[in-house]
Amino acid sequence: MEEVILTQKGYDELKARLHLLKTEKRQEIAQVIEEARAQGDLSENAEYDAAKDEQGHIEGEIIEIEAKLRHAKIIDDMAAESGVVSIGSEVKIINYKTNKELVYRIVGTTEADPFKNKISNESPVGKALLGHKVDDVVDVAGPAGTIQLKILAIN
């Protein structure tokens, strides 16, 4: 696995999720499996099959999170060069095509969540913004053509 770029907050959230999975979720699913076993014939027990599937998903997620944490590179939000968009930066932009202002936080791919305005450093917009300063206009190639974004503020 290659390096996983995370903010400290993202790293802490992954650790908390891992703890939850290893403690509460494992215990919950073990209890559900035990209750399903008590119902008798396992060959036609849909609840048992569903619980075993869920157990597999939980164990898979645990393995995935442990690997990400082992290969994590935590970026220091404060170490970012002042005034330049970098991973961890919160960037206020205006889309010239729609004339809408948006605020994005540039994060590693593991933390990306477009519904929370967290975009990956590897996304087209994230890549285009990296290394630029306030008042820079960047072009972002997308499926609907190229859009222009102007950087209004960097935090």
Domain positions in the chain are 4-75, 77-154
Which percentage of the chain shows pLDDT scores above 90? Answer: 68
pLDDT, position 64: 96
**For the residues of 40-64, what is the DSSP string, one character each?**
S-STT-HHHHHHHHHHHHHHHHHHH
pLDDT, position 77: 59
| Residue predicted with more confidence, 152 or 10 | 152
pLDDT, position 83: 85
Please provide the CATH number assigned to the domain covering 77-154: 3.10.50.30
pLDDT at residue 59 is higher than 80: yes
52-66 average pLDDT score: 96
| Residue 115 pLDDT grade (very low, low, confident, very high; cuts 50, 70, 90) | very high
| Residue predicted with more confidence, 44 or 32 | 32
The pTM of the full predicted model, rounded to 2 decimals, is 0.73
Q: State the CATH class of domain 4-75.
A: mainly alpha
pLDDT at residue 78 is higher than 70: no
pLDDT at residue 144 is higher than 90: no
Picking from 43, 53, 78, the residue whose alpha carbon sits closest to that of residue 155 is 78
